[in-house]
Every structure is written in structure tokens, then in C-alpha cells.
């Protein structure tokens, strides 16, 4: 807690001068990537509340996050009343945000309701207009005698409504390559401890064997991540700004659930059209508020990819309409890709890209001691959830391809 205390003391000093005159109370809210707290600052002598705010302590992946871009997105959305304002930010470690009173995270029933899905679709379409649209293509290169894949990105068209400038390297391909490197490094450490523990056991029960089989599958996906990613990522297409982490705990509802705030923009960057709505629909089947191991619940039986595809198509139609309002020239450019983007195969690609993203994230976060003692979030199980969905979408794609070829 020393680092948290020093961050808060520095914040109070910056805001109010002598921090000795104040005390504070912390209430843990949520957070897997970051630690998120409700912070109440009190006058030490009168006990009067001086300020309520949200304190975010950045987590393990913060080195991969563009905090300047994140801050710019927050500034733009806060002007529209779509995210809390930043009060103070220390780019390397923490951020203090406006506390939204009378707000609440979205419950699972609301998240699945037609009314809420329509509203979140409109919000995510707006998010995609914060930056210009880019097109890209994947190219084979030989560098120092080694073959590699690179991504070439160019801006389609700039227009007066553009709010943000995003560096081309803030794209999902480059981000996942970096995450994959971290995943391999961390998973190697996990693997060494896992194998040492597993083979030290004299008798392997069926449960132990099942866990070992899962470990082998997890290991395969981590080691072959880049090839799997290139298999499902379209070789050319369009990139727009995506949040990349839309789920219930990153959304707040206020005013009778008619107003939605979107939170935590640290993974925001250029990604495929529709990633956010697909990720949100998948995440409606997760509950991260569970306070016992594995510290979440997953309901794969509720996933309906055909229903999600119809919602995705509505998102694309709204996306086109929104950009028609922005620029006819932009609309003309993006319509060249619309037939491919509206295809069910493209949608299945999005499902698999999302699955791979969170699989890699789990490999970055997993810790053997926590896994063995079952004392924190079960990243091992979470990875297997993501692999299962990846393989489900992959099987559907393969079967459709076989049927098409037969015709």
C-alpha cells in the first residue's frame, strides 16, 4: 500500500497544499488491469468531505499503453458527456477522475437487453468517429534474412471533423505483437513452475490429467500466437478507433439508465470495424464481480453467434450512416469494403481476434503461485474460455468453407 499512499498524498498536496491537514478513505471498486478505488478526501480536523473522486493505479501492462492518447480520448469524450473528466494524471502510475454520483455499473440483464444494446451500439459508432479512418494491408518482408509480416497503414482522408490524431503504431497488429512477446516471456516462467509441480506428484488423477491437457493447449496457443493471429486477421481492410475493452464494468449508467459513460480507454487504438460491439456481446456472458475463486463466472451456453452477427450488421449500418454525415468522400472510400465487412466470415474473424487478444492478455497476467493457491483471478481458466470460443468460431468458419467449396 505504500505506493498507493504516496500517490494519494502527492495528489492531495497538488490539489490542496499541505497533505497533513487531510485524511482519506479508499473503497475498492473493480479492476483487473488496473486497481480502481473510490477516494474520499476528508478534512482531518472537521471530518468534512473535501472531495470524492476515482483513483486508478495503473497495472502490469501500463508500459504498452499510450497514456497521451488515452488522455486525449478522455478529453474529447468528456466534452460530449460520455466519460468522466480527468482531474489529475501521472502518466507512468495513476490517474484521478471525476466521480459520477448516482451511477452504477451495468448488470447482466440490462447488458443483454435490446434497448441497452441499441444505445451501446450508437455510443461505439460515435467512438469510431473520433479519429480518421485508415486502410491497411499486410506485406511479407525479409529483414536480415528473416521473413516477417508487417502492416502498412495509410490515412484514407482527413476532414474537419477529425478530433484525434493517432500514430499508426497504435494499431491492434503492433499491440498484439508486443503483447505476444510479453505473453511468451511470462508464460515460460509459469510453465517452468507448473511442470516442476506437476511431475513432482506421484499420482496423477483424472483431474490432474485434465489440467495438464489444458496446459498443453494453452502452451500451444501462446507459442503459435502470431501464426494464429495472421490466419484470422484480414490481409487488408479498414482500421478505426476502437476502445478494445468494452464490458459491463467499463460502463456506467445514470439518469434512469438513459445515459451511458464509457470508462478505461487504455487499450484504445486502431482496430477492425466492429471489434468493440463484438467484444461487448461476448463479455455479456462474463461476470467479474464474483468474490470467490475463480473470481468470475462465464456462461458459454448463452453465446449466440448468429444473433450477435445480426447486431453486428446493425452496427455497420449505423457506422455507414454516421460517416455519411461526416464526409461523403470518406463514405465513398469505406463502401468499397462494405461487402466484405458485412460477410459472416468477417464477423467470425472478429470473434477470433477478440479471443486471441484476451488469451494473450491472460498469458501476460498469469502467475503460478496464484494459480496453485487459488487466491486470485483464474487466468488459466479464462484463457481456456477464450480458446474454446476461438475454436468454436474457427469450426463454424471451416464448415462454411467446406460447404461453399462443395457448391
Distance CA 131, CA 406 (A): 42
pLDDT of residue 404: 57
Q: What residue has cell string 458527456?
A: 81
Range from 53-62, 120-129, 357-366 carrying the lowest mean pLDDT: 53-62
Entry pTM: 0.89
- Where do the DSSP E strands lie in 184-329? 236-242, 251-254, 259-262, 269-272, 286-287, 297-298
Confidence band for 325, pLDDT divided at 50, 70 and 90: confident
Question: Which is more confidently placed, 180 or 167?
Answer: 180
**Ramachandran assignment for 151, one of left (phi > 0), alpha (psi -120 to 50 degrees), beta (any other):** beta
According to the per-residue pLDDT averaged within each range, which of 57-66, 167-176, 226-235 is highest? 226-235
Q: Say if residue 160's pLDDT is above 50.
A: no
* Digit-coded pLDDT (tens) for 13-49: 999 988 788 999 998 887 667 788 999 999 999 999 9
| Helix residue ranges, H only, 146-224 | 172-200, 206-223
Measured CA to CA in angstroms, residue 207 lies from 43, 164, 291 at distances of 55, 51, 24
Measured CA to CA in angstroms, residue 343 lies from 118, 204, 214, 309, 331 at distances of 21, 46, 32, 9, 18
pLDDT of residue 158: 54
Range from 185-199, 205-219, 259-273 carrying the lowest mean pLDDT: 205-219
pLDDT of residue 378: 96
Question: Which is more confidently placed, 151 or 143?
Answer: 151
Range from 70-79, 343-352, 358-367, 398-407 carrying the lowest mean pLDDT: 398-407
Measured CA to CA in angstroms, residue 49 lies from 39, 222, 351 at distances of 11, 49, 46
Q: Say if residue 131's pLDDT is above 70.
A: yes
321 Cβ neighbours under 8 A, 6+ residues apart: none
- The arithmetic mean of pLDDT across residues 203-228, rounded, is 87
Q: Say if residue 407's pLDDT is above 60.
A: no
Question: Which is more confidently placed, 2 or 348?
Answer: 348
- The arithmetic mean of pLDDT across residues 181-193, rounded, is 95
pLDDT of residue 61: 59
According to the per-residue pLDDT averaged within each range, which of 56-60, 145-149, 175-179 is highest? 175-179
Ordered domains of the chain (ranges, CATH): 2-98 (3.30.200.20), 104-406 (3.90.1200.10)
Q: What residue has cell string 468494452?
A: 246
Q: Say if residue 248's pLDDT is above 90.
A: no
pLDDT of residue 42: 94
* Digit-coded pLDDT (tens) for 307-320: 999 999 999 999 98
Strands 259-262 and 251-254: antiparallel
Nearest CA to 127 among 251, 281, 258? 251
Distance CA 77, CA 96 (A): 16
Distance CA 31, CA 205 (A): 35
Q: Say if residue 173's pLDDT is above 60.
A: yes
363 Cβ neighbours under 8 A, 6+ residues apart: 183, 184, 186, 187, 190, 218, 222, 379, 383
Angle between helices 225-232 and 344-365 (to 10 degrees): 160
Residue 239 in 3-state DSSP?
strand
- Where do the DSSP E strands lie in 82-164? 86-90, 94-98, 104-105, 134-143, 146-155
User: What are the φ and ψ backbone dihedral angles of 156, each rounded to 5 degrees?
Assistant: -70, -55
Neighbouring CB atoms inside 10 A of 365's CB total 21
Confidence band for 405, pLDDT divided at 50, 70 and 90: low
* Digit-coded pLDDT (tens) for 82-103: 899 999 988 778 899 998 887 7
Mean pLDDT for the chain?
Answer: 86
Amino acid at each position: 500500500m505504500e505506493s498507493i499512499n504516496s500517490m494519494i498524498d502527492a495528489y492531495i498536496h497538488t490539489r490542496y497544499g499541505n497533505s497533513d491537514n487531510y485524511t482519506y478513505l479508499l473503497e475498492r471498486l473493480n479492476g483487473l488491469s488496473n486497481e480502481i478505488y473510490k477516494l474520499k478526501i476528508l478534512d482531518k480536523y472537521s471530518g468534512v468531505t473535501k472531495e470524492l473522486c476515482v483513483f486508478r493505479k495503473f497495472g502490469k501492462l501500463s508500459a504498452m499503453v499510450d497514456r497521451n492518447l488515452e488522455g486525449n480520448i478522455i478529453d474529447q469524450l468528456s466534452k460530449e458527456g460520455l466519460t468522466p473528466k480527468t482531474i489529475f494524471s501521472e502518466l507512468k502510475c495513476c490517474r484521478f477522475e471525476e466521480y459520477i454520483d448516482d451511477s452504477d455499473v451495468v448488470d447482466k440483464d440490462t447488458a443483454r437487453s435490446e434497448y441497452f444494446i441499441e444505445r451501446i451500439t450508437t455510443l461505439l459508432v460515435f467512438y469510431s468517429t473520433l479519429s480518421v479512418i485508415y486502410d491497411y494491408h499486410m506485406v511479407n518482408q525479409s529483414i536480415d534474412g528473416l521473413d516477417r509480416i508487417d502492416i502498412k497503414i495509410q490515412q484514407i482522408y482527413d476532414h474537419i471533423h477529425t478530433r484525434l490524431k493517432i500514430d499508426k503504431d497504435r494499431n491492434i497488429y503492433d499491440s498484439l505483437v508486443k503483447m505476444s512477446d510479453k505473453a511468451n516471456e511470462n508464460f515460460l516462467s509459469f510453465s517452468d513452475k507448473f511442470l516442476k509441480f506437476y511431475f513432482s506428484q506421484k499420482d496423477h488423477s483424472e483431474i490432474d490429467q485434465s489440467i495438464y491437457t489444458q496446459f498443453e493447449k494453452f502452451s500451444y496457443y501462446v507459442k503459435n500466437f502470431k501464426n494464429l493471429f495472421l490466419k484470422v486477421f484480414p490481409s487488408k481492410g479498414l482500421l478505426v478507433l476502437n476502445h478494445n475493452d468494452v464490458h459491463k464494468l467499463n460502463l456506467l449508467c445514470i439518469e434512469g439508465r438513459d445515459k451511458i459513460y464509457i470508462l478505461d480507454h487504455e487499450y484504445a487504438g486502431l482496430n477492425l470495424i466492429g471489434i468493440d460491439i463484438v467484444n461487448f456481446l461476448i463479455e455479456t456472458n462474463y461476470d467479474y464481480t464474483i468474490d470467490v475463486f475463480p473470481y468470475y463466472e462465464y456462461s458459454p451456453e448463452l453465446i449466440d453467434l448468429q444473433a450477435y452477427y445480426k447486431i453486428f450488421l446493425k452496427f455497420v449500418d449505423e457506422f455507414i450512416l454516421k460517416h455519411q454525415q461526416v464526409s461523403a468522400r470518406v463514405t465513398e472510400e469505406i463502401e468499397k469494403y462494405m461487402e466484405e465487412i458485412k460477410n459472416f466470415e468477417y464477423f467470425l474473424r472478429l470473434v477470433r481476434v477478440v479471443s486471441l487478444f484476451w488469451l494473450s492478455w491472460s498469458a501476460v497476467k498469469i502467475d503460478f503461485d496464484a494459480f496453485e493457491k487459488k487466491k486470485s483471478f483464474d487466468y488459466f481458466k479464462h484463457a481456456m474460455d477464450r480458446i474454446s470460443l476461438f475454436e468454436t468460431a474457427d469450426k463454424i468458419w471451416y464448415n462454411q468453407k467446406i460447404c461453399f467449396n462443395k457448391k
